[in-house]
Amino acid sequence: MARQELHDQLAFLDDDDHAPLFYRLLQKIPVLRDNERVTRIVLKIPDPHSRKGMLIYGGSVLGVAVLVGLIMAVIQLAKEPEYEKPVEDPQTVLLGVSGQREEPEKPWGRSIHLERGDQYFLSGDYSRAINEYSLAIGTDAALAYHNLGVIYTELGDFKKAIESFQRAIAARPSLPESYSALGLALHEVSRNVEALQYHLQALRLDPDNSEFHNNVGNAYLYLGDYANARRHYTRAIEINPSNTQAMANQNSLLLITGDYDAAIQGFREILSADPDNYEVLMNLGMAYRKNGNQLDALEFFRRAQQVQRTPNVFISIGDTFRDLNRPEDAINAYVSASNITSSTYPLKKLAEYFFVLMRYPEMEEMLEQIFATEPWFPRGEELTSYAQFLQGQESLALSRLKRLLRRNPENLHALRGYTSLQLIQADLREARHTLESLLKYHPNEPISNALRGEYLRKLRAFDLAEEHLRQQDNDIARYYLGKLLLERNRKEEGRAVMEQVSRSTANPIGPKAHYALMLENLGSYDIGQAVEHFEGALAKGVSTAKREYVPRFLISDRYTFRLTYAFSPFTSATERYLEYARPFLLETDRMQSIQESALSSYEQSLYRVAYRQFLRATQHADAARLNNKGVERSLSGDLVRALEYFQQAAAQERGNPIIQYNIALTYQKMGSDRTAEKMYHEIKAAAPQLYEVDINLAVMDARRGDDEAVVFAMQGLENSIVNAYNEMRERSLEDYDPKISDPRLALLAAIAQFLYQDDQIATRDERFQELPEQFPEFYEGLLMREVFTGETFAIPPRLQVNPRFIMLSGDRALLREEYTEAMAAFQRLYNQEANFLSSTKIGIAFSRMQQHKRGNRYFSEAAAIQPSIAALNNLGNSFADVGDYENLQKAYESALEEDQGNFIVAMNYAYANQQFRRYNFAREVFEVASKINPSNPMPYYNLAKIHLMYGRHFMAREELFRGLNRYPNMPTINYLMGLVELIDGNLLDSLYYLKVSVENGIDATDLGDIVLTYQIH
């Protein structure tokens, strides 16, 4: 019979008829009267006075006498337990009419003992008041017993209070206040069904009493009969519109039934007239808390605390701080509750919360204090067992629960805990034994049938398990159903079920669902959702979910590692800048000035001086001619011939910084960073205002992943350019101009600004946007703006035959994935001249089209033209794409022989080895790369992946710490560190690193090389 059906059967108590005989007899047995199962049985027995009863008993009282004899025997044997009003988990606070002292109605005056009792009562001297009221029993037993009951209620001695009110009723059955007070005392000891009877009797005696209607409404509310509760609250307010207690309880009913907004509005209206009403403040705080507004809830709980410093208000404050994920504040609130009560309930809240926080030593400390005053505390034993199990002490955990079962084989905590842990341990024989006991002694507990479904899943009887779990209508069963569906790879169904469970706030299984969903989201690279579920799990307590799901880490065998091709449009902006950066032409103005100076010396008969000047002019002319030929070759893509011309020009005019710069730039384009870097530093010392050197050095820092160096250098460069330009204008006595009117300096300042400012800053490309306005025909500026910002421009007809702009057209088409157009542009470039760069471009196009073998032919051709590091790197990448490990090894190692310190080649070589699952060799190459450039975090990240895959968690953590030391906010490193901590069971640390990765914009596309799976126990 459902609970509501029982309430319907008890509805007869709300009229003028009396309860059946057997029901009234049952109420005299303290240990049975509030047992719903016994109440149902008794209500089914026909009343002897009824027509059916007369037929059954045949008019005889023999059957009745036998039954009454049995009941009286039970009364003699049963001992009513001692009752103490507990400090409870705060729920809705109902406002009832408390027992009040009664005045005598006798005309001859008041007993002296009652007078003295009242005086002592009002002064708080309860012991003397009890003595005086006891002496008054002989003259006015009803009032004396009633007032004794009031004192015992104040003292919390509800057993004596109940006895006193019962004697008051026996002495004067017409006193409704005693019935009401007795009902309130019975509520305090959870004898709610019996309490309802006495509240109704008080109402029968005084049917228009607003306060009694309020108490009846409370009694119905305690029994879950909301319709009758609402009826009596409404009647109480109709009788007395100023009955704030009934109004508050009516709003409490709205709170209980989930109409939080209406409850909040109603409580606020009451507070406007009675701002210090403790119960209303508490209920309003609970309404806000249930409505998800924790800060407002906290405000009203604190106001309630100022009115009354009760344990429950501190517990409510602690629970709210838990919702806000402020553990230390929550703990302090629970400690405050424990300091003002002798009840162990606040200590139990602390023990539970320390278990949630995985602070097991502090949990054990709380439990020791509880056991000192409450030796039989099965939940404490269960918590200790879970803590031991989660810390790897499985045998100790199971032994503790076994001892608990030996003390009480029917105990729910022991049966539940032992069965759950044995199922996780896969000891199905032991689990079956305790599961049978659990189903026998606690068949109506949701956990019992849920664990039966879990047991069937462990037996691999999946269909039976699913059928059984779907029959249960509770979140615990739904959780185990979701677990089964996830294991059977029915991911969408499983996630939907787990989402439903995780949203429920009224069950302790929700955090486990959050934990499972967190693992699912990590596996699908939805890191933001994973963090949210992780926080939900840890806030409420992961418990044994930590052992139910075992995360596993793999390097993806379906992932194609990002190999860096030189001269690809898919590289970084700095790499593309280097591709399009042009060398300098040497002008003839200087040669003309030298010749004029030589003529002047000749006319002055300074023949030797004139000779040297004519010779220098000739050499400069030759150097300029050779240099300019090199520039022409470089712009056409023939870097090999360009380098030859630049070197010949340098031989003609040694020490010329422009020629030296062109040589260094060509080496850098061909991948020889070490040689180029050395030359750049020499040029910088000789020509500090050749600012292109600073940008090219920043490109090298970017290649190494040293972003801090790039930012520092470029910020300084922009300031240097602006200062130098303004000094130049001052020397020429021109007015100050905030914009740089020199196109070369304006472009260099724009590049510097873009490189040092964060991509979130709106003014990052401000100088680039000013270039077209200042210099409409300055196409070099437009080209570089496109390289850095991606903003295209119309290429004029006269430049459409220029090799650089043909190359730009092909790159644009590649980026749009219009491969036919891209191939046409690169083929045109190749037809003009087959050289290193044109061959490379066609190879890249074929590579993007997944035609790796055709691309490999062009990469091989480029390497044959000039076996530079860039060409060999591209060739190695191409062999990796076609699956030719032997040749890729030769290509990469040839490149590294030329420059053992080339970071990009080393990283590509390591990535290629990972692609071929040669993880140990890849680890060796990553270690080499980390020594080449200790400031770049990527070698550490990849080393950690390999260590983690082989179970070397400590070594993985050490590598990641090296990366985090320099880049503490790098998303991918924080993410991987989060996985390491998760696999090691350090859940709080794991959540911290995962949150950092999300806060810094983790991109799921950067995580395709790693896979997180999990095994369900």
Establish if 258 belongs to a structural domain: no
| 16 pLDDT above the threshold of 60 | no
Establish if 597 belongs to a structural domain: no
What pLDDT band is residue 620 in, cutting at 50, 70 and 90? low
Q: Which pTM value belongs to this model? A: 0.70
| 36 pLDDT above the threshold of 60 | no
Q: How far apart are CA 622 and CA 938, in angstroms?
A: 47
Establish if 870 belongs to a structural domain: yes
CA dihedral 102, 105, 108, 110 (to 10 degrees): 0
pLDDT at 24: 57
Asked if 912 and 819 sit in the same domain, the reply is yes
pLDDT at 498: 94
Q: Among residues 290, 332, 234, which one has the least CA distance to residue 91?
A: 290
- 323 and 292 in contact (C-beta within 8 Å)? no
Asked if 652 and 716 sit in the same domain, the reply is yes
Asked if 541 and 626 sit in the same domain, the reply is no
Last residue of a domain, one of 933, 950, 970: 933
Asked if 804 and 929 sit in the same domain, the reply is yes
Q: How far apart are CA 868 and CA 942, in angstroms?
A: 27
| 611 pLDDT above the threshold of 50 | no
Establish if 24 belongs to a structural domain: yes
Q: Which domain holds residue 45?
A: 1-59
| 847 pLDDT above the threshold of 70 | yes
pLDDT, greater one: 528 or 763: 528
Report pLDDT digits (tens) over 890-922: 988 888 888 788 888 888 899 899 888 899 999
Asked if 717 and 842 sit in the same domain, the reply is no
Q: How far apart are CA 334 and CA 328, in angstroms?
A: 10
DSSP 436-491: HHHHHH-TTSHHHHHHHHHHHHHTT-HHHHHHHHHH--SHHHHHHHHHHHHHTT-H
- The residue-averaged pLDDT of 643-656 equals 88
**Most confident by average pLDDT, 105-109, 459-463, 803-807:** 459-463
Last residue of a domain, one of 697, 729, 761: 729
Residue 209 is which amino acid?
N
Report pLDDT digits (tens) over 432-453: 999 999 999 999 899 999 999 9
What pLDDT band is residue 738 in, cutting at 50, 70 and 90? low
Q: How far apart are CA 890 and CA 896, in angstroms?
A: 10
- The residue-averaged pLDDT of 665-676 equals 88
- The residue-averaged pLDDT of 645-665 equals 89
Report pLDDT digits (tens) over 276-323: 989 889 999 999 998 889 999 999 999 999 999 999 999 999 999 998
- Residue 212 Cα distances to 149, 151, 246, 277, angstroms: 18, 21, 10, 20
Q: How far apart are CA 686 and CA 682, in angstroms?
A: 7
| 84 pLDDT above the threshold of 50 | no
pLDDT at 493: 94
Establish if 413 belongs to a structural domain: no
Region of residue 101 (left: phi > 0; alpha: psi -120 to 50; beta: else) = beta
Q: How far apart are CA 503 and CA 808, in angstroms?
A: 54
Structural domain total, the chain:
4
CA dihedral 456, 457, 463, 465 (to 10 degrees): 50
Asked if 478 and 563 sit in the same domain, the reply is yes
What pLDDT band is residue 506 in, cutting at 50, 70 and 90? low
Q: Which residues on adjacent β-strands are paired with residue 219?
A: none
Residue 78 is which amino acid?
A
Asked if 448 and 528 sit in the same domain, the reply is yes
Range scoring the smallest mean pLDDT among 507-521, 590-604, 667-681? 590-604
Cα-Cα-Cα-Cα dihedral sign, residues 623, 629, 631, 633: negative
Angle at which helices 141-155 and 176-188 pack, to 10 degrees?
20
Establish if 162 belongs to a structural domain: no
Report pLDDT digits (tens) over 346-369: 999 999 999 999 999 999 999 999
pLDDT at 601: 47
pLDDT, greater one: 190 or 12: 190
Report pLDDT digits (tens) over 468-495: 999 998 999 999 999 999 999 999 999 9
Q: How far apart are CA 943 and CA 920, in angstroms?
A: 10
pLDDT at 541: 84
Report pLDDT digits (tens) over 174-202: 889 989 999 999 988 889 889 999 999 99
Helices (H) and strands (E) in the chain, counts: 55, 2
The Cβ of residue 668 has, within 10 Å, a number of other Cβ atoms equal to 24
Q: How far apart are CA 366 and CA 387, in angstroms?
A: 14
| 599 pLDDT above the threshold of 60 | no
Asked if 889 and 804 sit in the same domain, the reply is yes
What pLDDT band is residue 734 in, cutting at 50, 70 and 90? low
| 110 pLDDT above the threshold of 80 | no
Establish if 755 belongs to a structural domain: no
Q: Which residues on adjacent β-strands are paired with residue 1014?
A: 551
Q: How far apart are CA 827 and CA 564, in angstroms?
A: 22
pLDDT at 613: 45
Asked if 549 and 654 sit in the same domain, the reply is no
Q: Which residues on adjacent β-strands are paired with residue 554?
A: 1011
| 373 pLDDT above the threshold of 70 | yes
| 59 pLDDT above the threshold of 50 | no
Residue 1015's Cβ-count burial label (10 Å; 0-12, 13-18, 19+) is exposed
Angle at which helices 607-635 and 589-603 pack, to 10 degrees?
170
Asked if 828 and 723 sit in the same domain, the reply is no
Both tokens assigned to 60 = 């005889």
Range scoring the smallest mean pLDDT among 341-345, 370-374, 831-835? 831-835
The Cβ of residue 948 has, within 10 Å, a number of other Cβ atoms equal to 23
Q: How far apart are CA 749 and CA 757, in angstroms?
A: 12
Asked if 564 and 449 sit in the same domain, the reply is yes
Q: What percent of the chain has pLDDT over 90?
A: 35
Residue 69: enclosing H or E segment and its boundaries?
A: helix 62-77
- The residue-averaged pLDDT of 675-683 equals 92
- The residue-averaged pLDDT of 802-808 equals 88
Asked if 549 and 618 sit in the same domain, the reply is no
pLDDT at 52: 55
Q: How far apart are CA 782 and CA 796, in angstroms?
A: 12
Long-range contact pairs involving 587-595 (C-beta distance under 8 Å, separation at least 24): 587/624, 588/621, 588/624, 590/620, 591/617, 591/620, 591/621, 591/624, 594/620
Q: CB-based contacts of 841: which residues, under 8 Å, 6+ apart? A: 567, 807, 810, 826, 829, 830
Q: How far apart are CA 1001 and CA 991, in angstroms?
A: 16
pLDDT at 88: 42
Residue 1013: enclosing H or E segment and its boundaries?
A: strand 1010-1016
Last residue of a domain, one of 902, 933, 964: 933
Establish if 887 belongs to a structural domain: yes
Q: How far apart are CA 317 and CA 295, in angstroms?
A: 10
793-829 per-residue burial string, b: 16 or more CB within 10 A, e: under 16: eebeeeeeeebbbbbbbbbbbbeeeebeebbebbebb
- Residue 262 Cα distances to 167, 251, 254, 259, 284, angstroms: 43, 8, 7, 6, 11
- The residue-averaged pLDDT of 235-264 equals 88
What CATH number does the domain containing 721 carry?
1.25.40.10
pLDDT at 607: 43
pLDDT at 740: 82
Residue 1010: enclosing H or E segment and its boundaries?
A: strand 1010-1016
Q: What value, to the nearest 5°, has the Cα angle with vertex 824 and ends 819 and 828?
A: 145
